[in-house]
Amino acid sequence: MHIDQLEKRWAGIALGIAGFFVAVILGSALFHGIHAPSNVETIDSAKLHLSEEFAEDKLGASTNPDGSVTVRMVAGRYGFYPKTLTLPAETKLTFRWVSLDVIHGVHIPMTNMSTMIVPGYVAQVQTELHHAGDYPLLCNEYCGMGHAHMWSNIKVVSKAQWEALNKQRGANHG
């Protein structure tokens, strides 16, 4: 069998390039914890309104004892619920998404907040949003005729503003 010297060398280079990419991916995943969103957790989509976590009054942002924020949202044809939301910048955010009907996808343009929302499963993404402003949430997976009209806005405010808002709300409730 004959394999040219040049070809052998090239195969080595190609192996090196692929190896380099694999090393970068493994390095960032294993040492920096940068992962694709994954959270194998099932839920009955037909009974969300009765569930502990995704009943209507539980949706939206809630602050955890450690200062991070968990955001619970439901996707359904054709919107994300709650419809409007204010979130703090520079804060660890855990989004938990469920679908009440078909498959949806959600992303915030130009950030790494992106996940598929598959009925029957809870999709969880952790991220931080760095800049204050209005962000659209866009449905990015075909979910039926209204797919292109499935979007919502979230408002990202500075951490200080967020704390002020929360105090106010606390006072009102108190």
Partner 1 sequence: MDNSVEKKLALTHFWVAFGAFGLAAVMGLYQVIERSGFFGFLESREVYYASVSTHGVLMGFVLTTFFIMGFGYYVATSSLKLPVWNKTFAWTGFGVALAGVVMAALPLLFGQASVLFTFYPPLKAHPLFYIGATLLVVGSWFWCVSMIVMYMQWKKANPGVPVPLAMFATTGNAILWLWTSAGVAAEVLFQLIPWALGWIDTIDAGLARTLFAWTLHPIVYFWLIPSYTAFYCLVPKQAGGFLFSDEMARAAFILLVVFSLPIGFHHLYMDPEQGHGWKLLHAVGTFVVTLPTFITGFTVIASLEIAGRLNGGKGLFGWIAALPWSNPLVLALILGLLMLIFGGFGGLINASYAMNAMVHNTAWISGHFHLIFGGTTVIMYFGIAYYFWPVLSGKPLYCPSLAIAQLWSWFIGMIIMTTPWHILGLLGQPRRIDSVHYNNLLTLSWEPYEVTMIFGGLILLGSAGLLVYILYKTQISQESYQGEIEYAEPIHAVKDLPNYLNSFGLWNAIIAVFMLIAFGYPILQFFLMETFGSGRWGV
Residues 12-41 that bind partner 1 (CB under 8 A): 13-15, 17-18, 21-22, 24-26, 28-29, 34-41
State the binding string over 105-134 for partner 1 (x if CB under 8 A, else -).
Answer: x-xxxx-xxxxxxxxxxxxx----------
Query: Which pair of tokens denotes residue 65?
Result: 């004892």
Residue 50: contacted member of Cu ion, partner 1, none (CB under 5 to 8 Å, by partner type): none
**117 binding Cu ion? (CB under 5 A):** no
Q: End-to-end alpha-carbon separation of the chain, Å?
A: 84
How buried is 118 (Cβ within 10 angstroms: 0-12 exposed, 13-18 middle, 19+ buried)?
middle
Query: Residue 24: what are its φ and ψ, rounded to 5°?
Result: -65, -45
Residue 104: contacted member of partner 1, Cu ion, none (CB under 5 to 8 Å, by partner type): Cu ion
Indicate the pairing of strand 114-117 with strand 60-63: unpaired
Q: Taking a C-beta distance cutoff of 8 angstroms, is the pair 72, 96 a contact?
A: yes
**98 binding Cu ion? (CB under 5 A):** no
Judge if the upstream peptide bond of residue 78 is cis by omega within 30 degrees of 0: yes
Residues lying near partner 1 in the complex (CB under 8 A): 1-4, 6-7, 10-11, 13-15, 17-18, 21-22, 24-26, 28-29, 34-46, 77, 101-103, 105, 107-110, 112-124, 136, 138-149, 151, 153
